[in-house]
Chains A and B, each alone.
Chain A
Amino acid sequence: MATIARRPAPQPRAHPARPSGARNRSRGARLLGALCGSRGIFWQGVAAAVALGASAVVSLLVVPADAAQGDVQRLMYVHVPAAWTAYLSFAVVAFASAAYLRTGRVHWDRLAVAAAEAGVLFTGLTIALGSLWGRPIWGAWWTWDPRLTTTLVLLLVYAGYLAVRGLPDNPDRGARWSAVVGLVGFLDVPVVHLSVVWWRGLHQPATVLRPGTPTMAGSMLAALLLAVLAFTLLWAYLVAARMRTERAAQRTRRELLSAPVRRGVQPVAPVADLVATAPTPQGAGSHG
């Protein structure tokens, strides 16, 4: 019987407009992909470490102390970049939350979570350093300075963002709730700042804490910009690494739903320890 000539399986015709394979992704996407790959993150970490080291050396030793405040003013080189990074991550949380609500893409939510967690770190640091610096200058650990108070409100909003994530049993819903809290918190910040400025009734010019006034000595400004760059690099590293862990956690969670695994595992506990306690697979395959 004539063997039926096997028609060669139709090759998956690459869509003419979009050649398949890595080449079709735009240059930006490829660069982002490289940055977020585990190797990329490692080099980000190294760059951040180098920049932080250099900035510490410069701001502690090289730069002259401030005429009025003396060495205490060196705290500016950590307090101001921390404040800048805190507000940066808050803006990223708000933007990513809005994008997640708008498009429903999961990577926006991961970016929002990563930025929120980094935000909590830097906001807490800003407040601690701010009061540490305020102590010798204003003689009090806490003054209702508009910026410090707004940063404190920022910290409360971050706490709300992270607390709301775990509330519903449906992780998608938790992500949506936290996105809404992140957005509402972001809309709050300008009103908070304005209220506190009026509330104190003080309209004195920017206090010495406010940087960037060109009157600062050239070298100090350079040291400050280096510190800001270093903090931003570290922030980028923390966010990128946190996004990878979030992606891995979500992948594991979805993995647990795939049929072969599901039968072997009775998922009740959270993913991390759940996998650790997963019983050794029964059936012939178990080689444990």
Chain B
Amino acid sequence: MGDWSYVAPGYALTAVAFAAAVLRLHRRTRADRAAAARLAALRRSRRTPPVPPP
């Protein structure tokens, strides 16, 4: 009765679930790194003394 038609989907489902989780986390890390970079740029630009209005 050893029947692989249940084992295969089981392992496949596990692999897909893990891959999806890791991918989601990776995408979030990249988005956070981009956000931090933008903020740093914004902060640097703020620090330069603004030109007095004409």
* Touch test A–B (CB under 8 Å): yes
Residues from chain A with a CB closer than 8 A to the CB of B48 are 284-285
Q: Does A129 contact B (CB under 8 A)?
A: yes
Q: Which single residue of chain B is at the shortest CB-CB distance from A74?
A: B7
Check: A255 CB closer than 8 A to any chain B CB. Answer: yes
Please, how many angstroms separate the alpha-carbon atoms of A124 and B16 in the complex?
A: 13
Q: Are A72 and B3 in contact (CB under 8 A)?
A: yes
Which of B4, B22, B29, B45 is A285 in contact with, Cβ under 8 Å? B45
Whole-angstrom distance from the CB of B40 to the nearest CB of chain A?
9
- Are B46 and A71 interface neighbours, CB within 8 A? no
Give every chain A residue within 8 A of B31 (Cβ-Cβ): 272
Flag if B10 contacts A78 (CB, 8 Å). yes
* Bitwise interface map of A from 253 to 267 toward B, beta carbon under 8 Å scored 1, else 0: 001101011011100
Cβ-defined contact, A242 with B25, below 8 A: yes
The digit string for B1-13, where 1 denotes a CB below 8 A from any CB of A, is 1111011011101
A222 at the A/B interface (Cβ < 8 Å)? no
A129 vs B35: C-alpha distance in the bound complex, in angstroms?
38
Q: How far is the CA of A249 from the CA of B29 in the complex (A)?
A: 10
* Contact B1–A70 (Cβ < 8 Å): yes
Interface of B is mostly: helix
CB-based contact A70/B6 at 8 Å? no
Judged by a CB distance under 8 angstroms, whether A271 is at the interface is yes
Of A125, A133, A260, A285, the residue contacting B14 (CB under 8 A) is A125
Q: What A residues does B43 contact at CB under 8 A?
A: 255, 258, 260-261
Are A251's CB and B36's CB within 8 A? yes
Interface size on A, residues (CB 8 A): 54
Q: Are A264 and B17 in contact (CB under 8 A)?
A: no
Alpha-carbon distance A50/B42, docked complex (angstroms): 41
* Shortest distance from the beta carbon of A74 to any chain B beta carbon, whole Å: 5
| Most chain B beta carbons < 10 A, residue from A45, A129, A256 | A129
- The one of B11, B29, B39, B50 in contact with A244, judged by C-beta atoms closer than 8 angstroms, is B29
Contact of A284 among B10, B36, B42, B51 (CB under 8 A): B51
The residue among B2, B3, B10 with the most chain A CB atoms within 10 A of its own CB is B10
A60 touches B11 (CB 8 A): yes
Against B, the Cβ 8 Å flags (1 = close, 0 = not) of A63-83 are: 001000111101100110010
Contacting residue for A281 out of B4, B18, B25, B46, CB 8 A:
B46
Q: List 23 A-B contacts (CB under 8 A).
A: A52-B18, A60-B7, A65-B2, A69-B1, A78-B14, A121-B21, A125-B14, A125-B17, A132-B9, A136-B6, A248-B35, A249-B32, A252-B39, A258-B43, A260-B47, A263-B46, A278-B38, A283-B51, A284-B48, A284-B49, A284-B50, A284-B51, A285-B44
Interface residues of A (CB under 8 A from B): 45, 52, 56, 60, 65, 69-72, 74-75, 78-79, 82, 118, 121, 124-125, 128-129, 132-133, 135-136, 234, 237-238, 241-242, 244-245, 248-249, 251-252, 255-256, 258, 260-261, 263-265, 271-272, 275-276, 278, 281, 283-287
13 A-B pairs besides A260-B46, A281-B46 with CB distance below 8 A are A56-B11, A69-B1, A72-B6, A121-B17, A129-B13, A135-B6, A234-B18, A248-B36, A249-B32, A261-B42, A283-B45, A284-B49, A284-B50
